[in-house]
Amino acid sequence: MRRALVLGGGGVTGVAWELGLLAGLVERGVRVTEADLVVGTSAGSVVGALVCSELPVQRFYEEQLAPPSSEVAARLGFATLARLVWAGGRTRDAARSRARIGAMALAARTPSEASRRAVIEARLPEREWPRRRLLVTAVDASSGEFVVFDRDSEVSLVDAVGASCAVPGVWPPVTIGARRFVDGGMRSTVNADLAAGAERVLVLAPTSAAIGPMPRLSAQVDGLRAAGSRVSVLTPDAAARTAIGRNVLDPARRAGAARAGRAQAAAVLDEVAALWA
């Protein structure tokens, strides 16, 4: 496997920033959307599904500039963050930490699963798994097990992406069979280690925050490099951070985040071109 594109979580503004950055790179001749493997976590699962649809990424960038009619505003406020940290940070056992976060998510009052599924469906122009290898991450809310969905998992793409985007305490856990799943970012906001074996790895990380025993992005990148991969990690620059603001779940900020991502592409062009060529 030559090239992997890893897309991390970061809310609706993370989706927008990633699409803007990808569009800006493609416009400048660096076809990062043609990766052999795409790994998507939370917001990155949405972008991954779009990238693998074979439709032009510029189309998806332009959609971020339109009024977000199908999105529902929400807030990952201090109280929710505090509950996440309290639930996940009380043990050094990663699976137990995730199970405690899952229990918090299962007990939370949230919108219905059906209403949330409609939002996810509206984000995806293609509802079938792509031919290209796409990995979508999630966490079993009861056991804390980290799960990676792909086209062989016998799970619909909409449900896989919905599970990966199920922010605990904000959106409902997603029911798949007899199990319920929450955000793949509860294991790692990026899950870059799933790109192991790729010669070249490009990581887009709107956030690299970690709770309790979560594996840190820096450690994942070190592991990839130790195994022989060339890795570049891109995070929002100062202008993008300003555009994103404090609430990554605010759809009103997605146009600004998308434009900031596209503008940032010029600054990282040489680095990415050298990696990807």
Please pick, among 53, 159, 164, 183, the residue that the annotation labels catalytic.
Answer: 183
Rounded distance, CA 151 to CA 127, Å? 12
C-alpha to C-alpha distance for 149 and 135, rounded to whole angstroms: 6
What sign for the dihedral angle of Cα 144, 191, 108, 94? positive
How far apart CA 59 and CA 35 sit, in angstroms, is 18
Q: Identify whether 140 is a catalytic site residue.
A: no
User: Which DSSP category does 6 fall into?
Assistant: E
The Cα diameter of the chain in Å comes to: 48
Of residues 49, 171, 83, 169, the one with CA closest to residue 119? 171
* Distance from C-alpha of 164 to C-alpha of 136, rounded to nearest angstrom: 7
Report the amino acid identity of residue 181: F
Cα 81 to Cα 110: distance, rounded to the nearest angstrom: 15
**What's the Rg (C-alpha) of the chain?**
17
Q: Residue 48's closest CA among 3, 2, 8?
A: 8
* Catalytic status, residue 193: no
For the chain, how far is it from start to end, CA to CA, in angstroms?
14
Residue carrying structure tokens 């052999």? 36
Residues sharing a CB contact under 8 Å with residue 26, sequence separation 6 or more, in sequence order: 32, 33, 57, 58
Q: Which residues are known to be catalytic?
A: 42, 183
